[in-house]
Amino acid sequence: MTGPDRAALYQIAAGTGFRANEIRSLTPENFLLDRDDPVVRVNAAYAKDRKEVDQPIRQDLALLLSNWLKGKTAGLPVFPKLTKHTNLLIRGDLARAGIAYRDSSKLKLVADFHSLRHTYVTMVVQSGATVKACQTLARHSTPVLTIGRYAKASSEELRGAMDRLPSTLDERSTVKTGPQGLATHLPLPGDGSGRDMADADAIPNGGELQALDEWKGCKALSEAELDALCRLLAVTDGTEGVGFEPTVGLTLLRFSRPSQSATLAPLLGSNELQTISDPLRR
């Protein structure tokens, strides 16, 4: 193939997303370029999904192809010498252009001929088209294949997305070093966050936290006091728990149906049964 033919081949592949076999079927009649919305048509017999498609292309690509098609014979394929080994074809041109066949990313992507279709889908996604438009232009049965398999996100695109995010900081969030700088990013006292407010090293000087005086009268609960609170919840009257919940000193909150409960039968007349059943009967 001549240089101009190979250049047109790569432009068509990257500008339409056509597969190699679809491109082999193209004749001059498949290029509908003299219209406001230029398209390249693939006949149903050669399309992968066996459906005729009019693929829209850019105006500048339409102009380039119009000049290139002037030397082509009507009714005959425009790429009669297109090899079946398209990977070797493009790999040779990449070497001449000084472009690496395999990139340096962790994915180790290769620039084979089918990667031109991936390039097309990626550019469509990056253009801001809707998911449905991307799926239609890629001619996929599901958008999952379009976005998940074909579209690629570059590091520059990811950085651009981060730069467009709204800031979560405010004017008070200047980064400083040391404990005092860190304290400017922490919640103010009394905000209910549960932060330990007894750490004097984390309190900036200069009266920024005016509630400091209010902390001086506070003291932590002793271990004995905490233990007493825990035991209070575990106090029972010696009776085995009945109903739906275990006995934790809150017997009035347990429910049962005394008239139908075999568990409560031995407790008839007891104070606990009377306490539970009387409110239910009322």
Q: Is residue 30 a contact partner of residue 16, using CB atoms and an 8 Å limit?
A: no
pLDDT of residue 217: 59
Digit-coded pLDDT (tens) for 230-275: 555 555 444 444 444 444 444 444 444 555 555 555 555 555 545 5
Q: How far apart are CA 19 and CA 101, in angstroms?
A: 19
In this structure, what are the phi and psi dihedrals at residue 42, rounded to the nearest 5 degrees? -115, 125
The pTM assigned to this predicted structure is 0.55
Q: Where are the domains of the chain?
A: 3-71, 175-220, 224-281
pLDDT at 195 over 70: no
3-class secondary structure, 66: helix
Q: Give 269's strand partners.
A: none
Q: How far apart are CA 236 and CA 248, in angstroms?
A: 6
Digit-coded pLDDT (tens) for 114-158: 999 999 998 988 888 888 888 888 888 888 877 877 777 766 766
